[in-house]
Amino acid sequence: MAESQKSDIAVAEMAKDVLKMATADKHKFDALVGLIKEGNVSNQEVVDTVLNLLVAGEFDLETNFIIQDPENVTNMLNLMDNCSETLQAEVWSHFTAILRKSTRNLQACTEVGVIEMVLGQLADAGEMLAGKQHTLKSEAAQWN
C-alpha cells in the first residue's frame, strides 16, 4: 500500500471521513473496517457509509440506489467479515432492498459472482444472517 493511502486510512477517524478520502474505494472499505475493529463507529454510520460507497454518492432508496462499481459489492462482503451479526443483518437488509429495485444492481452482483461468495459465507452464518443471505441468493437467482 502506498504511503499516502496509509496516511489517508489513519486519518479516517469517523465514518464520514472515509467518504472524503482521496483514495480507491477498496481503501475506503479498509478504513471502515479499521473503524469497526476499533469500535469508533455506530452500526448506522457503517450502513450509511457502505450504501454511499456502493452508489458513489449520497444513497437514497428512491433516487440514488444504483451500484456504480460492482467491485464494491465484493468490498462490502469482505467488510462484513469484520462486523457483528446484527450489523451484518442491517447491511443485508438494505442491500437486498436495493437489489429489488434494479435489474442493473442484480447484474452488478452477477458480474462479481456474489452468489458463489454468499454460498461460501452461508455455512458460517448464524440463523439471523442465513435468512438474509437466502433472500439475497433468491433475488440474485432471478437475474440468472
Name the grid cell of 11. Answer: 486519518
With a cut of 80, say whether residue 18 has pLDDT above it: yes
Residue 127's pLDDT band (cuts 50, 70, 90):
low
Mean pLDDT of the chain: 84
Higher model confidence: residue 128 or residue 14?
14
Among 59, 73, 139, 75, smallest CA distance to 108 is for: 73
pLDDT tens profile 35-53: 999 998 999 999 999 999 9
Q: Which residues contact 44 (CB under 8 A, 6 or more apart)?
A: 90
End-to-end CA distance of the chain: 36
State which amino acid sits at residue 38.
Answer: E
Residue 67: predicted pLDDT: 98
Question: What is the reported pTM?
Answer: 0.79
pLDDT tens profile 19-32: 899 999 999 999 99
Q: Could you give the CA distance from residue 94 to residue 87 in angstroms, rounded to a whole number?
A: 11
- Does residue 43 contact residue 87 with C-beta atoms inside 8 Å? yes
Among 5, 74, 17, smallest CA distance to 41 is for: 17
